[in-house]
Amino acid sequence: MVLGCRSNGIMADLKKRLGGNVEGLFFVDSTCIDCDTCRQIAPSVFAELGDYSVVHHQPVGESEVREAARALLSCPTGSIGTLAKIDLKPARLDFPLPITDSIFYNGFASPDSFGASSYFVRHPEGNWLIDSPKYLPYLRDRFQEMGGIRYIFLSHRDDVCDAARYAEAFSSERIIHRYELSAQPDAEHVIDGYDPVQILKDFLIVPTPGHTRGHLALFFQNKYLFTGDHLWWSRNRNALTASQSVNWYSWPQQIESVRKLLEYPFEWVLPGHGERINLPEPEMKRRLIELLGRIEH
Ligand code: SF4
């Protein structure tokens, strides 16, 4: 029996099992959209092979099985399955996964946002959701236990997913740029123009047009930068990366928006797609300058 029911009820299909999987309990099927979510959550188990992820090492021991189960739950397309029933509850209870004391990765990525990462920021003046995961009663209840959601920051139109449902559940204020408003027409807080906008003491919204016309980045505590699809860390390049191949509006403007970030100190990059990275502030600046050097030529 093939098991591995995701939050969306979709089951991976053994008939579509990719040949690159090593034999064993977990497998990936051909519905994989190569979003990288599983490779980030369980890098010892999942690896990239061509245009897909596959299981390159079957999990051994409780910790690896738990990581693989987290990946299974977070796969946006339900492409990860198991050949025998496993208890997914412990892995589900792990979400939102702590990154720091106040920042969490939500998991449960959506195909609507091509598996984009979303985050939860716990803050004494009200919590923030950074882009949106799938709407799930379980996750909603967890957010409730963590103090609810005051603001929902939407980096751009591609990653809004179920923001409206979370906003309704928590009477949250959704923040989005006017140029992205078609994705969330009834958003409560609309950013106009390209000047930075301070919200409370700890949050600074910096428009970073380029990937889309109204793309926004969010600085938190002058240390954490939520970048949406503006830039990200690439494990293959071992570098900060932005790509013209996924630029939907203006590449020259995106380069200018990367340059704009030089004005700000930060130590973390937390993207929608691609990997997170934490570097000392001078090293992060050096990496940003390095990125600019690559994309300007
Ligand atoms: S999380 Fe799912 S869709 Fe994304 S790369 Fe892994 S198997 Fe593929």
Last residue in a domain, options 64, 92, 120: 92
Check pLDDT > 80 for residue 218: yes
**7 found inside a domain:** no
Give the residue-averaged pLDDT of 276-285.
98
Which residue puts its alpha carbon closest to atom 1 of ligand 1? 75
Which atom of ligand 1 is nearest to 37's Cα? 1
Mean pLDDT check: name the lowest of 7-21, 30-44, 144-158, 177-191.
Answer: 7-21
Would 113 be classed as within a structural domain?
yes
Q: Is residue 33 part of a domain?
A: yes
Q: Is residue 37 part of a domain?
A: yes
180 and 117 housed in the same domain: yes
What CATH code is carried by the domain that includes residue 30?
3.30.70.20
Domain match, 254 and 151 both: yes
Residue nearest to ligand 1 atom 8, measured at CA: 32
Residues 123 and 261 in one domain: yes
- CATH number for position 280: 3.60.15.10
Would residue 229 count as lying in a domain?
Answer: yes
Please state the rounded mean pLDDT for residues 130-134: 97
Indicate if 191 and 287 belong to the same structural domain: yes
Q: Are 230 and 267 found together in one domain?
A: yes
Statement: residue 5 has pLDDT above 90: no
pLDDT tens for residues 78-129? 999 999 999 999 999 999 999 999 999 999 999 999 999 999 999 999 999 9
The mean of the pLDDT values for the chain is 95
- Residue in the structure block whose two tokens are 């923001």: 163
Give me the percent of the chain exceeding a pLDDT of 70.
97
Domain co-membership, 123 together with 83: no
Which residues lie below 8 Å from residue 80, measured CB to CB, with a gap of 6+? Answer: 4, 6, 12, 26, 27, 28, 29, 38, 68, 71, 72
Residues 57 and 117 in one domain: no
Q: What is the mean pLDDT of residues 15-26?
A: 97
Domain boundary among 59, 92, 125: 92
Residue 27, in any domain of the structure: yes
Number of structural domains, the chain?
2
Residue 43 maps to a domain: yes
If asked whether residues 112 and 227 sit together in one domain, one would say: yes
**Nearest ligand 1 atom to alpha carbon 109:** 1
**127 and 78, same structural domain?**
no
H-helix segments, 148-233: 163-170
290 in any annotated domain: yes
Instruction: Decide if pLDDT at 3 tops 70.
Output: no
Greater confidence (282 vs 8) lies with 282
Verify that 85 and 149 share a domain, yes or no: no
When pLDDT is cut at 50, 70 and 90, the band that residue 50 belongs to is very high
Q: Are residues 119 and 263 in the same domain?
A: yes
Q: Residue-wise over 243-256: b if at least 16 C-beta within 10 A, else e?
A: beeebeeebebbbe
User: Can you give the pLDDT at residue 7?
Assistant: 43
Which band of pLDDT confidence, cut at 50, 70 and 90, is reported for residue 297?
Answer: confident
Domain containing 58: what range?
Answer: 14-92
Best residue for ligand 1 mutational test, from 11, 29, 36, 110 (most atoms within 8 Å of Cβ): 36
pLDDT for the residue numbered 10 = 54
Co-location of 79 and 103 in the same domain: no
Task: Confirm or reject: Cβ of 13 under 6 Å from ligand 1.
Answer: no
Whose alpha carbon is nearest atom 6 of ligand 1?
38
> Which residues lie below 8 Å from residue 109, measured CB to CB, with a gap of 6+?
35, 37, 74, 75, 76, 115, 116, 117, 118, 133, 134
pLDDT tier, 11 (very low <50, low <70, confident <90, very high otherwise) = confident
Pocket test for ligand 1, best of 30, 51, 77 (most atoms within 8 A of CB): 77
Instruction: Please name the residues in contact with 113: beta carbons below 8 A apart, sequence gap of 6 or more.
Output: 76, 131, 132, 158, 159, 160, 161, 272
| Stretch 255-265: mean pLDDT | 97
- Residue pLDDT, tens place only, 143-181: 999 999 999 999 999 999 999 999 999 999 999 999 999
From 40, 68, 92, the end of a domain falls on 92
What's the one-letter identity of residue 239?
A
Residue 235 amino acid letter = R
pLDDT confidence of residue 8: 44
